[in-house]
Structure 1
Amino acid sequence: MRRIAVIAAEIFCVVGTLFGVGVIGTRVEESSGGALAATATLIAPAGPAFSIWTPIYLGLLGYAVWQALPANAVRERVRSTGWLAAPSMVLNAAWLLVTQQGWIWVSVVVIVALALTLGTLVQRLTRETAASTLERILLDVTFGLYLGWVAVATCANITAALVDSRVDLGATANQLVAVVVLAVAAGLGVLFARRLGGRWSVAAAMAWGLAWIAVGRLGDEPRSVATGIAAVVAAVVVLLAAQRLRDRRTPSGESSPRLRAV
């Protein structure tokens, strides 16, 4: 049942993605009245940032097939995460379908649920190391990237909902709030490093999203040097936090299994 649920969720995720990229629906940046466009808010990443979905979606597809193989189905690491992987795919598709309807605040609820689901899933992956390189790529790397990107996207989504609700504190105050939001994102990166053993996949995805926020604010509208610099600093903090955790050694001098994770 778990394996079937994951495959069904992956199919639903593909359908939702077709809506999100505009094949059978409206592209995300054009949905919800443009509230989620790259130039809509100070926390919106520039357009190229969303290319990170390519490795994530390919990883999810590979994972759905891999976890269905009998040899993998009985492993505790796969069993303990499968029932979280499936709803993460469903929530991802649900977010895309909700934004098609312009329900921006509902999309906030969905993406927060998605972030919590992924956080729980990746934390369970720290209990045991991957048994093979393929497992490491399809489970650890895929869901690490997924979590890191969704963490940044959640901050952007909440900001978009507020702006769409006509919350405007003025030019200076808006930039100050944006800096605070980016500080929160950096804090999440540090928390993830501590709780998840300094996983590079999580840190890299967060740094990627934050870096493209910087690109958007320094090179496109709405321009904000303060926000751009804060985004760069946040990205560096996230990467340094992951590196610091990975540099820690066990008393024997060997890296612990948890810190060797990607």
Structure 2
Amino acid sequence: MAPLSILLARAALLLDPQEDRARLLLADALSRSNAGEVALDTLAGIRLDGPFARSAAAGQVGTLRRAGRLPEALALAEKLASAEGATAQDLRSYGELLFQTGRYGAAAAAFGQALGKAKGDGGWELHYLHGAALDRAGKWSEALPALQRAVALGPDEPEALAWLGNAQVERGVDLTGAQALLERARTLKPDDPEITDSLGRAYYAEGQLAKAVPLLEQAVRADPGNARANEHLGDAYWTLGRRTEARYAWRAAEVTAEEGDLARIKAKLADGLAK
């Protein structure tokens, strides 16, 4: 639909060159078509004293973000979020960029402020983002109620279900409840390898290896480069006594693992799972 949107927006501007609404729509379509520089030039043509000036600034944030120019996007998003009259959406956009750049505590604060400005209860997604940021910031006691609220507001949203379920599995908290959350998430999104992996890990944590291994194998087949899934599969194989297969899985995990996970995986390759 992007080429058609671009065509129609350009036609509207030919008919009325002062129509900033069309210019805003054109810039969005260009940005989503990987024409970031042209989109930014289009947004620069929107009148600063017009009714779409703030929308143009928000459009610049989105365009810079899609183009991978995160420092510029973050600086502009911070300016919008700290300005007088900042909206819940301004704060959410700022929080999303903070989260993307690993500043989880600041992201949680931005999402919390967005909730304070949001109409009604803010919706499941904003609670989910708030809880996820708190979780990543190491504030589990605050993250738990935020994630639970997200699930209550969005009982059919697999992202919220999966994050809460997986977080509980990682901490060994209410594993039965975590399994139920992840089973529901997988019913809603059966082809998602991360959800499949998380459910397999939940079964593994409860010692249900007959259920865990097929799911972990499925997750690895769907996403062979997923370090987390390969590591979990290796753990399950080792527990079953399938030591050679376990080391193959851990070696696969080692290839794509993040720096902070390498020491743990190397220890498993050297010594297996600790008793």
Tell me, yes or no, whether TM beats 0.5: no
* Highest RCO, 1 vs 2 (Cα 8 Å, sep ≥ 6): 1
TM-score by length of 2: 0.27
Larger radius of gyration: 2
TM-score by length of 1: 0.28
